[in-house]
Amino acid sequence: MDLPIYYTRAEYIETDTGNKVSRRATISGPQNIILGGKTIIASGAIIRGDLRRTGPGHAVVISLGRYCLIGEGCVMRPPYKTYRGNFNYYPMKIGDHVHIGANSIVEAATIGNHVEIGKNCIIGKFTIIKDCAKIADNTVIPPNTVVPALALFAGSPGRFIEDLPESTPEMVEAQTKQYYTRFQPLPAER
Amino acid sequence: MAPKIEYYCPCLSESPHPPPPNLPSSSYSFHPLHNLFFCEECDAVRCNRCVLVEVSGYYCPNCLFEVPSASVRAEKNRCARNCFLCPNCRNTLTVVPSDPPENVDSRTSPIVSTTLGEPPFFLYCNHCRWDSAEVGITFEKPTGLAAQLQKFEDSAPESLEFERLKEHFEPFLRASSSSSTLPSASSHHVHTNPITAAASSALARDIPGVGKYNPLSRSRVGRDKAAHRQEYPDYKSRVEIGSAAALSGEADVEFLRHLETVSEVAALEQRWTNSWVSPLPASDLKPLRIPLQSKKSKRCPSCRHILIKPEQKAQSVRFKIKLVAANYLPAIAVTLPHAQAAIEMLKRTSKSASAAAQAEEQQAAGALIAGHSYSFHLAFTNPLYDPIQIRLAKALAPVQTAEGDAAAEAAERARRSTFQIQLPSAAFPVGAFAEAWEYDDEDEDMFLDDDGMEIVEARGKKGKDGRGKTRSVGIVEKRANVTIVSGEVLIPKEARGDVRFNMLVSYTYRSDDPEPSEEAGVGTPSRSHGTNKAPEMKNFSFYTVVDLGPIMYREEPKLTADL
Ligand SMILES: [Zn+2]
Ligand SMILES: [Zn+2]
Ligand SMILES: [Zn+2]
Ligand SMILES: [Zn+2]
């Protein structure tokens, strides 16, 4: 059986819906960020909810689903472009059961459900990652890339490597749920 | 490396027993559980090497357009929309106008709507900065680029030659396909499609001594002979092959003579996804229309029942039929408690160390050292709605056929230098899977806590090896649909290599047969409760390979000196 992953209770804030957010993470513009519940934001992660579309009113910049993990040192930044002469940021939407490994930089437009992104990856602007895809460690996905469902991408630039097994949804779901359960305060503090 | 376990699919061997795990080739017969399928009809495990694969739909991996099979052929298996691969780095190309927008810093890629901008348009790679203007490809309009490029491809001499060949054989193909529609329609797995038949009979006619490829019974031979008698004219090629080769050959030599850097030559990787001969100089490579991908159905190789049937929608990850082994066989996880304890210690003590250093420390702490014995844990998770009884056995090594004293001595020596495995001999139960357990993951009490180790000492049967050790072989823990048992490995001082062994897992389960299950897709039949019938117990066995990791030595400096 897999061992627990301990954290010091003082470091993490736990929300009513079970999100665990490190005090050492930088959450800019929290009012523009949605966390689905049971999502973990690890130490040193940077989430740029402040980079919002210009204009009045409230805007969701980054939304994350349930059972997600933003690994240590990750940078989540909404994509931007100049369209018809206007510079603007565009929202980033991430589904349920999405794990992002340590030190990855993500500027995707959408990431589906059950997606695994490895460590030290760069996910370019406006990338679309469909359900159950997997990005191997150290992959560079150039801007505007589309990663189809159940595909493994690796390399620089990231390319299709192989189809993932049909049982990927169940596997990833079990893994992300298990990870959340394993992620617990050090027993000494209990 | 963490210990691991893989499951055996017997499709590559004649015998139902797995090959010895120390043979490198044995790895082809073992698979992770989640990569395997299960045929209920045959009551057997199937793997990706043995299932029959059928294309159930085509789509472009970039624009995700679902391409109807009719156009797949005309468009030569590539996307006919605006999807292109960079010939240099395989990234997806972007269509850009000639006037890059102002006020964009040079680092950003020119992402512009194609409704804007001035012609000519060209294809640009935002990864390696290749652009199609370099090879003289520009477009007046930013739409319908694929059609323009395909016109290019289709005018390649090889493409024209191929078309001509197809045309030449067309009448013969039509004749032979009409005569063989019946067998090919009833079972298309047998290799008798009209093209194969035509090719084989043409080969048999033109090259003396080449027998006709004949997968079918004798009755078909006669019919093939009849078809063979039918005459068709000789093929006249467009290009005389000798002169064509000479032409490109001389040019290539000339090019190579003036080569300054190796990168001027297109790498193999850059050339081989091309349909036709591609130019040697890297600077001449053309953008590629993106090859289509397919969704696949999978069938059992022996009974033809469908094991995998995807939903029509290309990007759906749901399946109409999905018979995966993980829903039938217990999942097994292997751990080395001594390694886990060591990792635990390291985690608590050395917090500041870098991740790499930590990984190294953990590796060292979890090592299997020659001359010691270790216990290992096997956690069985039951996917069935009924409890199962599991029995484990070490797979026997294949019987040595060698004779004589020398052979016996060698065998004895081999035995002395190989590790010994002890597995629990008694059958043990694993509780039923219940949907509720899935939602209990929040419940920390269900999780293996620190008390787990104490349960070992309290409940496990103490090993009676007379050395007064408190190791145990037996049940360690039982909860929900998981049972953890422990085994022991004894590594002699002379042992080398990996601790890897085959294990036979047999389990009995309550069978709900013979009710046929037509509600495919709504859970698997084995998971359904058939309480109206008297329970019938069935047995299923499968082989696995357990890999606990490499054997290490205490004298590390000496080891490096030996190397
Ligand atoms: Zn197989
Ligand atoms: Zn396309
Ligand atoms: Zn490129
Ligand atoms: Zn079958």
In a domain, B82, yes or no: yes
Find all residues with CB under 8 Å of B557, minimum gap 6, and list them. none
Measure the CA–CA gap between A116 and A137, rounded to whole angstroms. 10
- What is the pTM assigned to this prediction? 0.80
Integer Cα distance of A3 and B2 in angstroms: 13
Q: What is the DSSP letter of B282?
A: G
A131 DSSP assignment: T
Q: Is there a contact between B84 and B147 (Cβ–Cβ < 8 Å)?
A: no
Gap between the Cα atoms of A171 and B162, Å rounded: 46
B307–chain A nearest CA distance, Å: 11
Do B29 and B45 lie in one domain? The reply is: no
Name the amino acid, one letter, at B275: S
Q: Which of the residue ranges B11-20, B89-98, B208-217 would you say has the lowest mean pLDDT?
A: B208-217
- Decide if B327 contacts B527 (C-beta within 8 A): yes
In what side-by-side order are the strands of the sheet with A20-22? A12-14, A20-22, A40-41, A69-70, A99-100, A116-117, A134-135, A151-154, A159-163
Q: How far apart are CA B39 and CA B31, in angstroms?
A: 16
Q: Are residues B415 and B308 in the same domain?
A: no
Neighbours of ion ligand 2 (CB under 5 A): B 60, 62-63, 79, 81, 83
Residue B129 in domain: no
Same domain, B332 and B412: yes
- Claim to verify: residue B271 and residue B370 sit in the same structural domain: no
Q: Which domain holds residue B50?
A: 37-56+295-323
Q: Is the pLDDT of residue B445 over 60?
A: no
Q: How far apart are the first and last CA of chain B?
A: 22
From ligand 2's centre to the CA of B47, what distance in Å? 31
Q: Are B277 and B68 in contact (CB under 8 A)?
A: no
Asked if B156 contacts B162 with a C-beta cutoff of 8 angstroms, the reply is no
Contact call for residues B26 and B20 (beta carbons, < 8 A): yes
Indicate whether B223 and B243 sit together in one domain. no
The conformational region for residue B480 under phi > 0 = left, psi -120 to 50 = alpha, else beta, is left
Q: Does A20 touch chain B (CB under 8 A)?
A: no
Q: How far is A148 from chain B (nearest CA, A)?
A: 6
pLDDT for res B174: 80
The distance of B379 to chain A (nearest Cα, Å) reads 7
The protein residues having their C-beta less than 5 angstroms from ligand 3 (an ion) are: B 86, 88-89, 91, 125, 127-128, 130
Q: How far is CA A158 from CA A3, A43, A110, B353, B379, in A?
A: 32, 27, 17, 31, 36
- Is B104 inside any structural domain? no
- The answer, yes or no, to whether residue B214 has pLDDT greater than 70, is no
Higher per-residue pLDDT: B346 or B78: B78
Asked if B423 and B390 touch (Cβ cutoff 8 Å), the reply is: no
pLDDT one-digit tens code per residue, B2-36: 889 999 998 888 777 888 888 888 888 999 999 99
Ligand 4 centroid to B304 CA: how many Å?
6
pLDDT over 60 at A13, yes or no: yes
Is there a single domain that holds both residue B176 and residue B275? no
Question: Tell me: the pLDDT tens digits for B353-411?
Answer: 555 666 666 667 778 888 888 999 999 999 999 999 999 998 765 544 445 566 666 66
Residue in the structure block whose two tokens are 């001449």: B284
- The predicted model gives B59-86 an average pLDDT of 91
Quick check: B518 pLDDT over 70? Answer: no
Do residues B357 and B309 share a domain? no
User: Mind listing the domains of chain A with CATH numbers?
Assistant: 5-181 (2.160.10.10)
Helix B355-365 vs helix B337-349: angle between axes, to the nearest 10 degrees?
A: 140
pLDDT bin (cut points 50, 70, 90) of residue B146 is confident
Helices first, then strands: H and E counts in chain B: 14, 23
Indicate yes or no: CB of A169 within 8 angstroms of CB of B317.
Answer: yes
Q: Please check whether residues B384 and B503 belong to one and the same domain.
A: yes
Share of chain A above pLDDT 90, in %: 86
- State whether B447 and A146 contact (CB < 8 Å): no
Q: Give me the sign of the Cα torsion angle A28, A30, A33, A35.
A: positive
pLDDT at B351: 53
* Exposure class string for B435-473: b at 16+ Cβ within 10 A, else e: eebeeebeeeeebbeeebeeebeeebeebeeeeeeebbb
Degrees to nearest 5, angle at CA A148 with A145 and A152:
95
Q: Are residues B209 and B261 in the same domain?
A: no
Residues 6+ apart with CB under 8 A from B16: B10
* Residue B87, in any domain of the structure: yes
Q: Look at residue B501 and tell me if it is in a domain.
A: yes
3-state secondary structure of B432: coil
| CA distances from residue B357 to A137, B347, B348, B353, B363 in whole angstroms, order as listed | 18, 12, 15, 6, 10
Report cis status (omega within 30 of 0) of the bond before A157.
Answer: yes
Residue B498 domain flag: yes
* Three-class secondary structure of residue A10 per DSSP: coil
Provide the number of structural domains found in chain B: 4
CATH code of residue B503: 2.60.40.10
Rounded to the nearest angstrom, the gap between the alpha carbon of residue B398 and the centroid of all alpha carbons in its chain is 28
Domain identity same for B359 and B414 = yes
Residue B534 lies in a domain: no
B269 and B217 fall within a common domain: no
Judged by CB atoms closer than 8 Å, whether chains meet at A1 and B452 is answered as: yes
- Please spell the DSSP secondary structure of B228-246, one letter per residue: HHS--PPP--SS-HHHHHH
- pLDDT, tens only, B168-185: 888 877 877 666 544 433
Query: Is the residue at B514 inside a domain?
Result: no
- With CA atoms as reference, the chain A residue closest to B111 would be A81
Helix (H, G, I), strand (E, B) or coil at B561: helix
Could you tell me what percent of chain B has a pLDDT over 70?
64
B69-78, B121-130, B534-543: which has the minimum mean pLDDT?
A: B534-543
Tell me: do B330 and B386 sit in the same domain. yes
Q: Which residue, among B22, B107, B92, B101, has the nearest Cα to B62 in the 3D structure?
A: B92
Whether cis (ω within 30° of 0) applies to the bond prior to B387 is no
| B64 pLDDT tier (thresholds 50, 70, 90) | very high
Task: Count how many Cα atoms sit within 13 Å of the Cα of residue B559 in the half-sphere of its side chain.
Answer: 9
Q: Please state, in angstroms and rounded to a whole number, the distance separating the CA atoms of residues B47 and B38.
A: 8
The two beta strands, B306-310 and B319-322, are: antiparallel
Which residues make Cβ contacts (< 8 Å) with residue B264, sequence separation at least 6? B281, B282, B283
B328 CA → ligand 3 middle, Å: 46
